[in-house]
Amino acid sequence: MSFPRFDPHAFATRPRPLATVATVATTLVPSPGLSQESQLSQGCSPETETNLDERLAMALYEGGIPLIYAPAFAVLQMNCPGGASFACWEQAVDDAGRLLDQWGFQAERLGWSATDLIGPATSSLAWAIHGQRVLSLSASRAILKDGRQYRRQN
């Protein structure tokens, strides 16, 4: 089974589901005694949960990104966070995908969390790249092609 390519513009202009990025993201924070399936079902409409499941599957099986980052990447693709412009969100989704393709497994080995790389905060590395390529990644920082350095927040 193949999944269609994600189109952020088509997604953003469709009718909005009941859940927001914030409510979906909070269900992904581990809660003692609750499975991820239980957490995903809290506060999500069936449509949102299905879309999230599809994004998770695409990230893991088609994208081959580390499991630690798949839920945050799926949530990022679901909706533009409040306070961010559509153009910035679209760029962050693209940058996060390229970042995970190139550096995902090394970032995991270096201890970068999903929050460090993807968010939900717009202060994460994916939101700071702005279309630049990451040249190197260490346990504490990333060096971008334009010479900027991003220091890990956590």
Query: Which pair of tokens denotes residue 52?
Result: 């999230």
Confidence of residue 6 (pLDDT cuts 50, 70, 90): low
What does the alpha-carbon distance between residue 143 and residue 131 come to, in Å, rounded to a whole number? 13
| pLDDT, tens digit, 9 for 90 and up, residues 98-132 | 999 999 999 999 999 999 999 877 889 999 999 99
| pLDDT, tens digit, 9 for 90 and up, residues 46-88 | 456 668 888 888 888 888 889 999 999 988 988 888 888 999 9
Per domain, the residue ranges of the chain are 8-151
What burial letters (b/e) apply to 62-90, b meaning 16+ CB within 10 Å?
ebebbeebbbbbbbbbbbbbeebeeeebb
What does the alpha-carbon distance between residue 92 and residue 94 come to, in Å, rounded to a whole number? 5
Query: Which pair of tokens denotes residue 85?
Result: 């412009």
Distances (CA, A) of 143 to 25, 128, 139: 28, 11, 12
Mean pLDDT, residues 12-35: 41
pLDDT at 146 over 80: yes
pLDDT at 32: 35
